[in-house]
């Protein structure tokens, strides 16, 4: 049997577009003499549907598209495609997250996901009822194929991650090895640094249990905060990789079960390059799938905005990226110079609007009513918010999406101005710690000095008051980042006075993160919808 | 047996404070000769814990407090208190949402919630493992008491609500009537208009099944978006209310099981008054539990800001509420006059800052770089954002929380400026449709003309361009609100061209709501964390 791994980029809710793509990949798979073509989880619906599933009319539209798709597929090829279908029982949640097996002229077979991720960004238990994996074996071309969907293979006790492996039992253990000839997994598994290796671990554990080959097909593309990295593959029954698809773009790959051969592309593995390609893909898809064509950002002369400019240029090309330099009373001459140099290096247009007079004017209007006060955070935030004002005016004027430039370290401790530098349609580097921002910037510069080296080497400053340095308000970034990792990703208690102070800053700034734009997620635990903390509370533990 | 219904206002994560309150209510209950005192769900932890449960140190601190509380309680009274405890099994999610029964010198008994709400604002399946209600019967004073926690009694098929009653089975049906003498329910059930009656329905169904009396103890107080309205009560085995606690404030009430008598307070029932008291409680607790002491808001001369000013004054008293009037180039003279009158009626201080010159200055700076364009949404948003700039400067200067004034109708269709009028620490009326804003404003004026009648009667206008009226951009509010109810609360498809246009506006403005401040929830489906829609998608169905 020849199996096609159809690693596609679905658009959430675009049933017609997704269906056309599924059909076109099916036709191509048949041309390549595939007997079976496997698509990712929820390939027809797009992932993740979240509360789109609240409205029955949305699922109905997808189901109607599925019926049409079934009629359109060519003869003599089996199609296994992820879709949302109605739970046939009147009890329990309304839907199944299903894999549907289609053959021309035959009744569709439906297989329901059993393990429903309900942690971090995942909310499947809200609308999805679990099926039984034991029901998910079907016979095709004399093979008994076990269909699993993403999380179904993640209950092996492999990881110390506090979310994973917290299931009451592993449904796969209830199925006997002798009843299965091939395992297939349809996934929509988002990128994080550890995911590539972890996928190998869980698929190999599955293969070891069933003593069969396995085909793993993953979604690719960005959807709001999530970036699906693809990297589909096939293992033989000894757990050896015999087909490997690319990461970060669509791919149609073949695996011949009998011959034990498949397409072997080189998947990106270098950690910084993985992060770069993830963010570029996530940024491009977010802009595109939101219906925008261009973006802009404020260049400050600092490293965060420089990196966002690089990523945006990679994602959309220089003509679709505009930069604004907005000097204020505390901006250094160098900031202007290096911003201009960066824009020149990237080939993006740079505009300049001074906030100097606007700052004087608004401050004096404020002082007219409330009296002059000593320079304080009020003055700092006023500058940041005036920049926001102009950046959003540009957005309104040009129907261009503003990109935010906050990083995870700033967001963690609230070292950012709400409605000032925290604004935008998307935060491309909001899940990168400051130390990672440095690493990725240096990675960019390996090829050539894209980011002027002075931007990388100068001590970080918000330039909102005289002689200001981040280091005056915050611990050194390497120390801060370690603590953030410990508290956010490690879930550990704050022990030292410095850690307790950072925890305190984190808790006190929760109200800012509540109002943050979507953040592209590349770590195992990003700020955003996957981390739901209260604002009004006293849990300083 | 005499049972005390201890309807307390817990603070999330304030284990010491909550424990002291639990102890003090227990002592008072004993003084009133109660044999058993019942507290709400998660009374010790505070509800809802969401991802505070990610960090084991937080739960550990609560468990240590529970041990201390147990040692402190007086003799000869049983205490049934809601707490988060570790799941004793190594499999499944880490915690139980439990009721713990404490008696001086005896081993605690632990009862775990079985039905875990995972819909709307509720995320219990993220961290909580279900227990078995059948294990939750214990013997006390010769009575066999069945302990249930909130959702455990909500699986009766009573409601057409698409979330409720979507459980695979009703755990209570598995318990035989003859094994139970009394049912107790510990709840943290948030206010919505239908909740009072629905609680009666589900408790009466429970009583009818077991043919026993029942005691229902609900949390009171605000927690971020949620407002718990209390209203605890006891039913005899015929389903008659024999004890009734107040709503919207703390209460200690007694029910004598044998004598079939208990305290009968009058619970607020009038719909508008319920909404008013909810919002006042939610606003006060949000400000207080966030560590703020005062608030301010922009008065526009419109009805939304007028209503928020009334609510804030009710919640905090006039000395803690400041108003800013920020006239711009299109503000009418009347707006100033009526804002001043309103402030005078409420006894709150009013400041004025004109945005006129700031608008001219910032616009001319923008045009210097990008050229002058025709008056557009850019100019409108610039005004709204300048107001935001001053309102936030006031916040910085005075450590005062800004209240947002957006209503649900505006938020639904995106008729609001992101980073302009959409800003604030809290949106007190973000879950009220415009028609409800009118109704509640008229309700305020029944006693006396608090809100100048002109504010209520003038046609709504954003006053951001000449002769602008909401009605020029939007359908009439009664029609708009009906459609929003149909789409958001009714989950129905858009059928008419006007409904389709409104659905389109809703989908296109999702990016604004993603960045909205917390919204006090009073309807069955508010915007906010309970409604998780994607930004980048094409589900126009």
Kindly report, residue by residue over A314-350, the tens digit of the pLDDT: 999 999 999 999 999 999 999 999 999 999 999 999 9
Beta bridge partners of B260: none
**Per-residue pLDDT for A133 more than 90?**
no
Q: Which residue of A has its CA nearest to B17?
A: A538
Given a cut of 80, whether residue B395 has pLDDT beyond it is yes
The number of beta carbons lying within 10 Å of the beta carbon of residue A498 is: 13
Asked if the Cβ–Cβ distance from A12 to B373 is below 8 Å, we say no
Please provide the DSSP assignment of B261-313 as one string: EE-B------HHHHHHHHHHHHHHHHHHHTT---EEEEE-SSHHHHHHHHHHH
Contacts of B492 in chain A (CB under 8 A): 55, 57
Separation CA A113–CA B182 (nearest Å): 40
Give CA–CA dist A203/B484, Å, rounded: 46
The pLDDT tens digits of the residues spanning B501-511 come to 999 999 999 99
pLDDT of residue A160 exceeding 70:
no
List, as one string, the DSSP characters of B65-116. Answer: HHHHHHHHSPSS-EEEEEEEEE-SSSSS-SEEEEEEEE-TTS--EEEE----
Token couple for B484: 């929003």
Of A299-313, B121-135, B517-531, the one with minimum mean pLDDT is B121-135
The answer to whether residue A36 scores a pLDDT higher than 70 is yes
Answer yes or no: do B529 and A532 touch at CB < 8 A.
yes
- Per-residue pLDDT band for B191 (boundaries 50, 70, 90) equals very high
Query: Helix or strand or coil: residue B189?
Result: coil
Asked whether the predicted pLDDT for residue B195 surpasses 70, the reply is yes
Inter-chain CB pairs, A–B, below 8 Å: 281
Residue A325 — φ and ψ, nearest 5°?
Answer: -105, 125
Mean pLDDT of A443-471: 93
How is residue A521 annotated by DSSP? -
Q: Which residues numbered 382-401 in A keep a CB inside 8 Å of some CB on B?
A: 382, 385-386, 388-390, 392-394, 396-397
Whether residue A374 has pLDDT greater than 90: yes
Contact B386 A389 (CB under 8 A): yes
Of A206-210, A280-284, B36-40, B537-541, the one with minimum mean pLDDT is B537-541
Q: Which of A58, A89, A385 sits opposite B392 (nearest CB)?
A: A385
For chain B, say whether A489 makes contact (Cβ under 8 Å).
no
Whether A284 and A37 have beta carbons less than 8 Å apart is answered as: no
- Six-digit token pair at B102? 């404490």
Q: Is A166 on the interface with B (CB under 8 A)?
A: yes
DSSP states along A10-44? --TT-HHHHHHHHHHHHHHHHHTT-SEEE--TTTT
| B378 interfacial to chain A (CB closer than 8 Å) | yes
Q: Which residue has the higher pLDDT, B370 or A161?
A: B370
As a whole number, mean pLDDT of residues A50-54 equals: 93
Per-residue pLDDT averaged across A420-447, rounded?
97
As a whole-number percent, the residues of chain B with pLDDT over 70 amount to 99
Measured distance CA(A384)–CA(B402) in Å, rounded: 18
For B8-40, write each residue's pLDDT tens digit: 999 999 999 999 999 999 999 999 999 999 999
Across the interface, whether the CB atoms of A123 and B369 are under 8 A apart is answered no
Categorize the per-residue pLDDT at B91 as very low, low, confident or very high, splitting at 50, 70 and 90. Answer: confident
User: With an 8 Å Cβ cutoff, is A88 touching chain B?
Assistant: no
Contact A396 B376 (CB under 8 A): yes
- Yes or no, beta carbons of A381 and B393 under 8 Å apart: yes
Phi first, then psi: what are they for B228, rounded to 5°?
-90, 130
Angle (deg, nearest 10), helices B434-444 and B477-484 = 120
Task: Pick the residue from chain B with its C-alpha nearest to A129.
Answer: B168
Q: Tell me how close the Cα of B528 comes to any Cα of chain A, in angstroms.
A: 10
pLDDT tens digits, one per residue of A64-86: 999 999 999 999 999 999 999 99
Angle, helices A56-72/A15-31, rounded to nearest 10 degrees: 20
pLDDT, residue A163, reads 57
- Within 8 A by CB and 6+ apart from A208, the residues are A239
Does A292 touch chain B if contact means CB atoms closer than 8 Å? no
Query: pTM to 2 decimals?
Result: 0.97
The reply to whether B496 touches chain A by the CB within 8 Å rule is no
Give the CA distances from residue A368 to residues A373, B295, B337, B355, B360, in Å, rounded to whole numbers and listed in that order.
11, 21, 21, 12, 17
Confidence of residue A165 (pLDDT cuts 50, 70, 90): low
SS3 A311: helix
The model's confidence at residue A158, banded by pLDDT at 50, 70 and 90, is confident
Q: Is A41 a catalytic residue?
A: yes
Q: Which of residues 173-212 of B touch A (CB under 8 A)?
A: none
Report the mean per-residue pLDDT for chain B. Answer: 96
pLDDT for A157 equals 78
Match 């989908």 to its residue by tokens: B507
| Chain A contact set for B493 (CB, 8 A) | 55-57
Residues of B within 8 A of A56 (CB-CB) are 491, 493
Mean pLDDT value across residues A279-295 = 97
Per-residue confidence (pLDDT) for residue A540, from 0 to 100: 81
Least confidently predicted of A272-286, A504-518, B125-139, B424-438: B125-139
Better-predicted residue by pLDDT, B130 or A162? B130
Q: Does the structure show a pLDDT above 90 at B177?
A: yes
Q: Do B536 and A223 touch (CB under 8 A)?
A: yes
Please give the mean pLDDT across all residues of chain A: 96
**Pair of tokens at residue A394:** 């540009």
pLDDT at residue B164, as a whole number: 57
B contacts of A11 (beta carbons < 8 Å)? 536-538
- What pLDDT score does B213 carry? 98
Q: Which tens digit of pLDDT belongs to each residue from A404-419? A: 999 999 999 999 999 9
Catalytic residue (one of B30, B41, B408, B499): B41
Whether A55 contacts chain B with CB within 8 A: yes
Most B-contacting residue of A16, A20, A49, A55 (CB-CB within 10 A), to test interface: A55
Least confident segment among A151-165, A168-182, A363-377: A151-165
pLDDT at A159: 60
Does the structure show a pLDDT above 80 at A218? Answer: yes
């Amino acid at each position: 049997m020849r199996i096609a791994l159809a690693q596609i980029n679905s658009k959430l809710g675009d049933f017609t577009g997704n269906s056309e793509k599924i059909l076109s990949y099916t036709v191509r798979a048949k041309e390549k003499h595939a007997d079976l073509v496997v698509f990712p989880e929820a390939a027809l619906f797009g992932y993740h549907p979240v509360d789109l599933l609240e409205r029955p009319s949305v699922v109905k539209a997808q189901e109607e598209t599925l019926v049409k798709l079934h009629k359109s597929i060519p003869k003599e090829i089996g199609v296994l495609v992820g879709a949302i279908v109605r739970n046939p029982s009147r009890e329990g949640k309304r839907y199944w997250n299903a894999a549907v097996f289609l053959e021309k002229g035959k009744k569709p077979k439906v297989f329901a996901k059993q393990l429903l991720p309900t942690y971090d960004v995942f909310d499947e238990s809200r609308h999805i009822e679990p099926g039984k994996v034991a029901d998910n074996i079907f016979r095709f071309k004399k093979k008994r194929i076990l269909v699993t969907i993403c999380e179904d293979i993640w209950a092996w006790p492999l990881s110390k991650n506090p979310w994973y492996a917290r299931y009451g039992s592993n449904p796969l253990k209830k199925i006997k090895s002798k009843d299965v000839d091939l395992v297939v997994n349809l996934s929509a598994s988002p990128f994080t640094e550890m995911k590539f290796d972890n996928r190998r671990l869980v698929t190999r554990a599955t293969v070891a249990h069933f003593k069969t080959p396995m085909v793993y097909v993953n979604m690719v593309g960005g959807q709001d905060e999530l970036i699906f990295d693809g990297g589909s593959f096939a293992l033989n029954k000894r757990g050896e990789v015999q087909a490997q698809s690319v990461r970060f773009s669509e791919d149609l790959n073949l695996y011949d079960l009998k011959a034990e051969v498949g397409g072997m592309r080189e998947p990106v593995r270098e950690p910084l390059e993985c992060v770069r390609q993830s963010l570029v893909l996530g940024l491009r898809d977010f802009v595109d799938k939101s219906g925008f064509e261009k973006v802009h950002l404020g260049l400050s002369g600092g490293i965060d905005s420089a990196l966002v400019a690089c990523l945006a240029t990679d994602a959309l090309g220089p003509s679709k990226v505009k930069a604004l330099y907005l000097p204020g009373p505390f901006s250094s001459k160098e900031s202007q110079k290096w911003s201009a140099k960066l824009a020149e290096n990237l080939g993006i247009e740079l505009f300049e609007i001074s906030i100097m007079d606007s700052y004087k004017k608004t401050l004096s209007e404020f002082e007219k009513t409330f009296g002059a006060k000593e320079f304080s955070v009020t003055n700092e935030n006023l500058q940041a918010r005036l920049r926001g004002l102009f950046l959003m005016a540009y957005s309104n004027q040009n129907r261009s999406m503003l990109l935010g430039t906050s990083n995870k370290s700033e967001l963690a401790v609230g070292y950012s101005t709400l409605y000032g530098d925290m604004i935008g349609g998307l935060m491309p580097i909001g899940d990168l710690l400051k130390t990672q921002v440095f690493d990725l910037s240096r990675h960019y510069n390996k090829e050539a000095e894209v980011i002027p080296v002075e931007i990388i080497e100068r001590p970080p400053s918000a330039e909102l008051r005289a002689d200001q340095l981040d280091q005056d308000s915050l611990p050194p970034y390497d120390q801060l980042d370690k603590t953030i990792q410990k508290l956010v990703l490690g879930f550990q208690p704050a022990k030292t006075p410095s850690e307790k102070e950072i925890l305190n800053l984190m808790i006190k700034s929760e109200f800012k993160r509540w109002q943050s734009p979507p953040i592209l997620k590349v770590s195992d635990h990003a700020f955003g919808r996957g981390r739901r903390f209260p604002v009004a509370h006293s849990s300083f533990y």
